Amino acid sequence: MAMEAEAAPLGEAIGAFRSESPPWARALPCRLDVAPATASRPEVVLAVNGIDPRTGVDCIGSTAAALTTQTVLTAYPGDEIDLVLSVGTAGGWSRLGADIGDVYMAWDRFVSHDRRIDIPGFDAFARGDLPAADLRHHAAALGCRTGIVTTGDSLDESPDDQERIRASGAEVKEMEAAAVAWVAHLHGVPVGAVKAITDLVDSPVSTSEQFTANLAAAAQSLRETTLALLDRLGADS
Ligand code: SAH
């Protein structure tokens, strides 16, 4: 997860306690909390990007997300982690039927919309097209929508971004998932995403205004949906 405010309700609900970072990760802002397995739930490592020491805000975005994912998958090698989930808030589009408060699961892939490299081979690398774990039956059971998740390092949507997002067919816009997915794929671990819509990109109201108004409610729905998903994953295993 990217932001403390997104992670706090979930961390509290699963009873996650702080685990000490491994020595090689001490310089990184990310934070790993661990919640032991329960009768219904698998063990969960709740990894949060943490606070940037220079500016004092959450380390949102792809660089920190990649570092956090690498830290988790090194501290808990691949055979111990069954699934990586990128959980957080996101923008949606009313033209695609999204509403504030909807929760999406990623399907069928993660893409990047602000990595433009017009050279054969590098264009595909930049876009990503990283497959998402098939959580569609869980999404259906939990009343979640599914859609392609698109990642970029800006909150706004530039005209270039808009064109690329339309071409990719993405329905969920955020700033971390494709980076998390890239690192998870390097480790051979399946990756999914749970994203609560805080803002509608095609609304006349500014994204930051919508985001601020809806963050607390979104964090609660992330908690509810992720808890329910963890229970279902526990029941499957
Ligand atoms: N802290 C800032 C805004 C952070 S919003 C503030 O309070 O104004 C960015 C975070 O929310 C990112 O972690 C991103 O993944 C997610 N997000 C929510 N809506 C988004 C959108 N429309 N575009 C990109 N990222 C979005």
In this prediction, what percent of the chain has a pLDDT beyond 70?
Answer: 100
- Least confident segment among 26-35, 69-78, 193-202: 69-78
Tell me the pLDDT tens digit for each residue of 134-189.
999 999 999 999 999 999 999 999 999 999 999 999 999 999 999 999 999 999 99
pLDDT confidence of residue 178: 98
Asked if residues 138 and 153 have their Cβ atoms less than 8 Å apart, the reply is no
Ligand 1 centre to CA of 154 (Å) is 8
Catalytic site positions:
6, 199
Q: Look up the pTM and report it.
A: 0.97
pLDDT at 123 over 90: yes
Ligand 1 centre to CA of 228 (Å) is 24
Asked if residues 196 and 221 have their Cβ atoms less than 8 Å apart, the reply is yes
Q: How far apart are the C-alpha atoms of 166 and 223, rounded to whole Å?
A: 30
Exposed/middle/buried for residue 20 (C-beta within 10 Å: 0-12, 13-18, 19+): exposed
Q: How far apart are the C-alpha atoms of 45 and 30, rounded to whole Å?
A: 12
pLDDT confidence of residue 78: 65
The CATH number for 41's domain is 3.40.50.1580
Three-state SS letters, the chain: CCCHHHHHHHHHHHCCEEECCCHHHCCCCCEEEEECCCCCCCCEEEEECCECCCCCCECCCHHHHHHHHHHHHHHCCHHHCCCEEEEEEEEECHHHCCCCCCEEEEEEEEEECCCCCCCCCHHHHHHCCEECCCCHHHHHHCCCEEEEEEECCCCCCCHHHHHHHHHHCCCEEECCHHHHHHHHHHCCCCEEEEEEEEEECCCCCCHHHHHHHHHHHHHHHHHHHHHHHHHHHHHHC
pLDDT confidence of residue 153: 98
Q: Which residues line ligand 1 (CB under 6 A)?
A: 2-3, 60, 88-91, 155, 173-176, 198-199, 201, 207-208, 211-212
pLDDT confidence of residue 223: 96
Residue 156 CA, closest ligand 1 atom number:
23
Domain that holds residue 72: 4-236
Split into its structural domains, the chain has a count of 1
